Amino acid sequence: MQPRAVLLFDIDGVIRDVSGSYRRAIAETVHHFGGWRPEPQQIDDLKAEGHWNNDWQASLELLRRGGLQPLPAMAAVVEVFGQLYFGGDPDADPDSWRGFIRSEPLLVQPSFFEVLAQAGIAWGFVSGAEPPSCRYVLQQRLGLVDPPLIAMGEAPEKPDPSGFLRLGLTLATTPTDGVLPLAYLGDTVADVHTVVAARRQRPDLQLLSLAVAPPHLHPAQQSRARAGYEQGLRAAGADQILPSTASLEPDQLLTWLQAAPFSAPSPPAA
């Protein structure tokens, strides 16, 4: 089917639950260097500031705010974090990994992407996670064949919209229909700010920011924290808040996209 729209996804907290992997690696990295573990709410609060999408930098910032002096070198943080998360060489066979990455529940199934494609929605991924981690979940666990992907190191970090716009325009530009409406689904303020920044750069595009609270906030006992987190996503500029990634309905998405903020450039003066 000819695409009618494009939907790009963040991966962590959207496609897979990283509360026991990436977020655990943040806490354990802080503990390794500082002797204390940040609570999940502390990590949420840091992420809510909108510019700590990189978990290595987030770990270092938590150590700084915790008063550790001197701070470890970034290279040391990356080494410890990687051993915790991958538990082996990231470029080696994933079967050799023994780290936290092996405990990441999937939040969608392969059929989810088949339904999108059948509805005329092209899809891809823009993530701040390391390329081996992204390929592992998308290709080996979900079985997606050559999924369109921009990962860490392949574009400036979010909320810089460069990666989002590059992949989005690649998928959304058609020879007959111009540029299709484009949406991005993420779970952090940085993800929302990415779409907001893209609108500033390309006011001629029809862009939609979708957001979902990360899985660790979904249990009933976290309802108050989840409501506060979702309020922060709305305040950052999210157009729609989803109850979960898997709940996304193609027809509803297409309706939202048709009403998405759209600011065409002013015509040239006569």
pLDDT for the residue 264: 40
Distance from the first to the final alpha carbon of the chain: 41
Q: Burial of 58 by CB count in 10 Å (0-12 exposed, 13-18 middle, 19+ buried)?
A: buried
pTM value?
Answer: 0.92
Residues in the chain, pLDDT under 50: 264-270
CA angle 28, 32, 35 (to 5 degrees): 100
Cis geometry, peptide bond prior to residue 250 (ω within 30 degrees of 0):
no
Q: How many angstroms separate the Cα of 48 from the Cα of each of 15, 177, 188, 189, 230?
A: 19, 37, 7, 6, 10
pLDDT for the residue 261: 65
d(Cα 244, Cα 13) in Å, to the nearest integer? 10
pLDDT for the residue 225: 94
With beta carbons less than 8 A apart as the criterion, state whether 156 and 54 touch: no
Buried b vs exposed e over 67-91: b needs ≥16 C-beta within 10 Å? ebeeebeeeebbebbbbbbbebebe
Q: What is the largest CA-CA distance in the chain?
A: 68
